[in-house]
Structure 1
Amino acid sequence: MRVDGREIPVTGSLLQPRIRRTSDIVRVVAASLGVGVVVAGSLITRPEWLALERSVAKIVDFLSPEQSTLVYLIYGMLILALPFAIFIELVVRRQWKLLFGYGAAGLLAVLALSITGAGISTPKWHLPVPDRFDTFLSQFLDDPRWIAMLAAMLTVSSPWLPVRPRRWMWFLLLMFAPIHLVVSSVVPARAMLGLVVGWLVGAVIVWLVGTPALEVPLDAAVRVLAERGYTVNSFRVVRPAGRGPLLLATAVDGPESELIVELYGKNQRSFGAIRQLWRWITFRSSETAPLHGSLHRAVEHRALLGIAIGDLGMASAHQVAVASLNRGWMLYAHTVPRGTPLRKLSAQVLPGVWRSLVRLHDNQISHGDLRPDHVRMCQGDTLFNGFAAAEFGASDSQRQTDIAQLLVSTTALFGKHEAVSAAVGVLGESAVVTAASRLTKSAMPAGIRKTVPKWAKVMATAREEVREQTGHDRIGSEQLTRFTRNQVIQLVLLVALVYVAYPFFSQVPTFFSQLRTLNWWWALLGLVITAFTYVGAAAALGACADGLVRVRDLFLEQFANTFVATTTPAGVGGLALSVRFLVQAGMSTARATGAVALQQSMQVLTHLVLLVVFSVVAGTSTNLAHIVPDATVLYLAAGVGVGLIGAFMFVPKLRRWVNHSVWPQIREVVGEVVALARNPVRFSVIVGGSAVITLGKAFVLWVSVEAFGGGTDFVAVTIVTMIGGTLASAAPTPGGVGAVEAALIGGLAAFGVPAEIAVPAVLLYRVLTCWIPVALGWPIMRWMGEKNMI
C-alpha cells in the first residue's frame, strides 16, 4: 500500500468473509421477505388490493386525460433512460469491474421472470416506434421484467454511486406505482413482483461480490495516526473483520513502537445494532445498557470508559485515537496491553484481582466482559482491558454479573476451590451467593463462552462450589430475560395444544347434540376411574424410583405429564418431564432416566400381556375376525418384518448400530426387570400400577358406551381400547389426536356398536381421559415450575 509517497506493507488478508457481511445479509433477507409478501398478497388478498387501488385511483384522479397522457409520457421517457444513465455514471466513474455485475444483475432479473411452465418466454419489447408514443413506452413501463431489470441494476450499482444521484434514481423507479394511480390505472401486480425480484437478485449479487464498504481505508488510518504523532511503518492483520472489528498490529515511530488499531466497518455497525435490539427485546431493562445510536457513539463510549478506568490506574492500555474514516469505517487505536495475562499466573494473585474488581465497582464502573484475556497483572497491580461492554454508573445487577463472570473465568483457570475461596474471602458469603444466581448462560457474554473451554460445565461447577462453601441448600437462578425458558416452552405447548385440539373442536357440536341422552352417573363414574389411572401411574413411577418421591407429588406430576405428552409428538415431552421431575427431586440424571425407562418398559410388557389374555378370552366368546386383518395383510407385514431383520443383519452400519446402541439398552432393561422380579412387593406395585392404567382406560371407554345406552361387553371394549390405542400410538400427531378417535370409533363399530352411540361415547372417553387432565395439567405444570419441582 502506498500512502503519501511511502510504501507501507500490509501482512494478512483484509477481506471479510461473506458469512460476516451482516449488512449484505440483512439486505438479502429483507428482499426475500419482500418477495414473499408480494406473492402472498397476490395469491391471497389480490381482489381486496385491486379494490383498494381503484378507490385510491379515484381519489387522486384530478388530471384530465390529456394531462394524464403527458405525465405518463414524461415518466416513461425517464424510466426508459434510467438504465442508460446508470451505465453512463459507471463509465464516467471508471467502475469497469462493476459493469459485469451490472449486466449480470439485469440479465438474471429478466430471466427469473421469463421462466414459465412452458419454458422461457422472451420479452416482447418492440423498438420500432408505433403510431402512439405512449404505447411504445407502456411496453417497458408495464412489463415486470423491465422493472426487475432496473431494480437489480440499481441495487448492484447503488453502493458505488454518489448519494444524490442514487437517491434520485431510486425515487424515479419507485414512482411507477403512484404514477399509475394518478393516471387512473391499477398498479400491475406483476410490476410489484418485478420490483422485489429485481431487488432480491441485486441483493444476492451485492452479497457475493461486495460493496465499497468492504474496502478498508488504511490510507485514512495512516493519516489519522500521523496527526496523533505516530508514523505507521507496517500493518499486520491479527484478526479479520467478522463478528468483531478488523484487528491490526501496527508498527509505528513515536512514543510507542507498536499500536493496536481496531477498524469497525459497516457490517460491524449493522451487527451491533441487531445485537443491541435483540438484547433490548429479550432482556429486562435493568440488565441492558442504553442503546447506541450510531457506530461512532459505540466506539466513543468504549474509548471514554478506557480513559475513565485508566484514570484509576487500572487500564492495561491507553487510548491513542478515535476517528471516523471514509466509507463508513471507524478507527479506534490504543497501545498494546501491558502486563501478564491472568492465565499465565498462579492462584495467589486471585485476592488482588477480586479487590481490584471491588475498587472498580466502588467507582460505579462495571466491566461486562471479564473473560480471562481481559484481566492482566503488572507489578502486583490488576489491569483490565476490553471495555466494549463496560458501563459507568453501573447498577447492582451489572456488578453482580461481573462477579459471576469472573467466577467462571477464575474457576476455569485455577479450579473451583481456589476461585470461590478467593471470592468469598474478599467479597463475603452474601455477595458471592447473590452473584452466583447469575451463573447462567444469559449472564455469560459470547466472549466467555468462546474462550472458556466447556464453559457450561465450569459454570455449574462454580455454582456447586459456592453452595458447598457457603452452606446454602440451593442457589436459585436469577431471571435476566423478560421471558424465562419455561414461559417460552409453555407458550409453544399452548399453541401446539390448540393445533392438536382443532379436530376435536370440529366435532363438539355433534357431541353436545347427543348430551341429552347422556347418563351423567356413568360419566361421573368414568371420571373417578380416570383419577384412579393417575394413582396407578404415580405408584408405578414411584416404585421404579425406589420410593424416593412423595406419592402426592408423583400424582400431580402425572397431570403435568399428560399436558406435555399431548402437545408433543409421540409423547416424548412427557418422558422428558418425568426425567426432569425425578432429577429435581434429588435423583441423578442417569438414575432418573433409568427409572422412567423401566416404568415405560413395564407398561409396554403389561399392556402386551393383557392384550394376549383378553384376546384369548374374547376369542372364546366373541368373533374377532372382523377386527383381525386378512391373510394378505398379515403376510405382507411378516415379509416387511423379515426384510427389516435381514437389513439389520447384513447392512454393516445398521448391525453396528444395533450392537452398540440398541442391544446394550435392551440388556440393561432386561437385567432391571430380572432384578425387579426378585423384589415381589416392588414388582407387584409396578405391574399393578401399569395394569391399572391399561384396564382403567378400558373401563372408562366401557362406561362411556354405557352412558349413551350401551351395546357391547367389557371384554370387547378392552380389546378395542388396547388394539386401537396401540395402532394410534404410531400416529405422528401429538397425543394421537384424530388417530385415537378414528381407531376407537372403528373398533366399536366392528363389534356392532351403532355410530350414534360410538361417536359420542368415544368423544366422552377422550374428554375424561385426555382433555380434562390436559386442562388440569397446564396450571399444575406452572405451579410445579414455580416450586422448582420440574
Structure 2
Amino acid sequence: MRRVPAAARRCARTTPRSGPLPLRRTPAGRALTLLPVLLIGAWAAIDWRAMCAGAARLASADPWWLLAGVFFTCLGWVAAACVRQGAVPERLPPGLLLASQFAAGAANHVLPASIGAHAVTLRFLQGRGIPLARATASLALYSLVKPLAKTPVLIVFVVAFPDTLRLGQLAPGKGTLLLAVGGVTLGLATASLLVTVVRPLRRPLLGFVRTALTDIRLLHTRPSRVLALWGGSAAAPVLQGSVIASVGFSLGLPLSWAEVVFALLLATTAVGAVPAPGGIGPVDAALVFTMVAFGAPMGLATTTVIGYRVLTVWAPLLPGALVLSFLVRREVL
C-alpha cells in the first residue's frame, strides 16, 4: 500500500474546501441560528395590530375556502422551488430545495426587495457546490424571468375574459406611461454610465454577463429546465391570486376568480418594484384599489388583503423561521 508523505497530508488538511464554510459551534454561530426568530418577533411587535385584526376577521370566514387558500399557498412554494431548479443546470435535491424556499419566504418578509430570499437561496446553491458567479447568475435569471412570465399570463386573461375584465377603468393615463418609460430609461442610462465611467466594474460585470449567457443557453437546451423556469414563473402569480380569491370568497367578496387574479397581476406590475419587505404595503394598496375598481366594497377588499397577508405571511412566518434556523444549524445554508 502506497504511503502518502507527511507533507502532502499536512497540505491536504490545510487546503480550504470549496463551497461555503460551515458554521462553527461558537456562541456567534448559535446566535445566528436564532436571528431569524428574533427578527420575526421584532416585526410582530411593530405590526401587531394588523396581524390581530386580520386574524379576528378570518375567524368568521368560511373554513373550507380558507383551507383552499392554504392549499394554493403550499403550491406557491412548490412553484418557487421549480423556478429555482429551472435557473441552474445542476440537479438540486428536491426536499432540501423546497425546505430552503419555505425558509426563504420567512427571510423575504423581513428584508426588502427579495434580498432575504435571494441570500438564503445563494447560500443554499453554494452549499450544493455551485460557484458564486454561477449562483449569482441564477438569481439574476430568476429575477428576470418572473416579471417577464407575467406578460403572457396577462395576455391570456385579457383574451379569455374580455367582458369580465373592465380594463377601461384601470387604463393608465399618458402621464403615468411617460413616467414609467422615463424611469426605465433613466435606470438603463445610469447603469450604462456607471459601467462606462467606473472601470473596476467592467471586468466583473462582463464576466458575470458571460457566465449568465452561458448558463441561459445551456438551460434552454433542456426542456425540463425550460418548463420548470418559465412554467413555474407563470404559475406563481396565478397561484398567489388564487390564494387571494379563496380568502375573498370565504368573506363574501363579490368578484370572480378571474377579476381577483387579474387585479393582483395589475397591482404587482404597477408597484411590484417598490422595495418593501415581501411587497407588503405598496402592492396591498394597489391591490385594494384595483379590486375596488372592479366593484368590490372598500372595507371588504381591505379585509380580503389583510386576511391574505395573515394566511401567507403571518401563519407560515414562525415555522419558516424555525426551518431557516434548522437549515443553518445543519449547515445546509
Identical counterparts, % of pairs: 24
**For the structure 1 residues 635 and 602, does the alpha-carbon distance in structure 2 shift closer, same or farther, using more than 3 Å as the test?**
closer
Summarize the Cα distance change of 1:464–1:759 in structure 2 as closer, same or farther, 3 Å threshold: closer
C-alpha distance 495-678 of structure 1, shift in aligned 2 (>3 A): same
**Distance in 1 of aligned mates of 2:128 and 2:80:** 17
Aligned to 1:462: 15
C-alpha spacing 1:724/1:665, structure 2 compared with 1 (3 Å): farther
Q: Counterpart of 1:47?
A: none
Partner of 2:275: 732
TM-score, normalised on structure 2?
0.82
Residues 642-683 of structure 1 deviation map (CA, whole Å, 9 limit, x = unaligned): 55666667xx54645699376775665455444433322321
Could you say what secondary structure the match of 1:569 adopts? coil
Contiguous gaps of at least 5 residues in structure 2: none
Give the secondary-structure state (helix, strand or coil) at the position aligned to 1:734. Answer: coil
Q: For 1:338-367, what per-residue CA distance to the aligned partner results, in whole angstroms no more than 9, with x for missing partners? A: xxxxxxxxxxxxxxxxxxxxxxxxxxxxxx
Aligned 8 A contact 1:420 1:462 in 2: no
Instruction: Output one character per residue of 1:261-304: Cα deviation in whole Å (capped at 9) or x when no partner.
Output: xxxxxxxxxxxxxxxxxxxxxxxxxxxxxxxxxxxxxxxxxxxx
- Asked whether the 8 Å contact 1:538–1:555 carries over to 2, the reply is yes
1:21-80: CA deviation from partner (whole Å, max 9, x where unpaired) = xxxxxxxxxxxxxxxxxxxxxxxxxxxxxxxxxxxxxxxxxxxxxxxxxxxxxxxxxxxx
State whether structure 2 residue 82 is matched by structure 1 residue 539.
yes
2:31 to 479, 487, 493: 487
- Normalised by the size of structure 1, how large is the TM-score? 0.37
Question: Which digits, 9 at most, give the CA deviation of each residue in 1:160-216, with x for residues without a partner?
Answer: xxxxxxxxxxxxxxxxxxxxxxxxxxxxxxxxxxxxxxxxxxxxxxxxxxxxxxxxx
Equivalent residue pairs, number: 326
Match of 1:758 in 2: 301
Residues 501, 608 of structure 1: alpha-carbon distance in 2 compared, 3 angstrom cutoff: farther
Aligned equivalent of 2:230: 687
**1: CA distance, partners of 2:250 / 2:110:** 28
1:390-789 equivalences in 2 (<5 Å): 421=9, 462-464=15-17, 478-479=24-25, 481-484=26-29, 487-488=31-32, 490-491=34-35, 493-501=36-44, 504-515=47-58, 517-642=60-185, 653=194, 655-656=196-197, 660=202, 669=212, 672-789=215-332
Q: Residue 487 of structure 1 aligns to which amino acid in structure 2?
A: A
Structure 1 residues 729 and 420 mapped into 2: Cα distance closer, same or farther (>3 Å)? farther
Which deviations, in whole Å up to 9, do the C-alpha atoms of 1:438-485 show, x marking residues without a partner? xxxxxxxxxxxxxxxxxxxxxxx53449xxxxxxxx996643x4332x
Report the Cα distance in structure 2 between the residues aligned to 1:475 and 1:589, rounded to whole angstroms.
13
Distance 1:584 1:464, change over 3 A: closer
Bigger relative contact order (CA 8 A; separation at least 6): 2
| In structure 1, distance between residues paired with 2:172 and 2:85 | 39
Of the two, which has the highest radius of gyration? 1
Q: Which runs of 5+ in 1 are unaligned?
A: 1-416, 425-435, 437-460, 466-473
| Secondary structure at the counterpart of residue 97 of structure 2 | helix
Task: Please give the alpha-carbon distance, in whole angstroms, between the structure 2 residues aligned to 1:641 and 1:592.
Answer: 26
Question: Given residue 15 of structure 2, which amino acid in structure 1 is its aligned partner?
Answer: A
- What CA distance in whole angstroms lies between the structure 2 residues aligned with 1:705 and 1:551? 32
Distance in 2, Cα, partners of 1:703 & 1:691:
19
Q: Contact 1:712/1:753 (CA < 8 Å) preserved in 2?
A: yes
What pairs up with 1:199-278 in 2 under 5 angstroms?
none
Give the superposition deviation at 1:728.
Answer: 4.2
- Cα offsets for 1:578-598 (capped at 9, x unmatched): 111122123232333333333
Which one has a larger percent helix, Structure 1 or Structure 2?
2
Is this contact kept in 1: 2:89–2:219, CA < 8 A? no
**Structure 1: which amino acid aligns with 2:61?**
L
Structure having the larger proportion of residues in strand: 1
Residues 57 and 307, structure 2, Cα contact 8 Å, conserved in 1: no
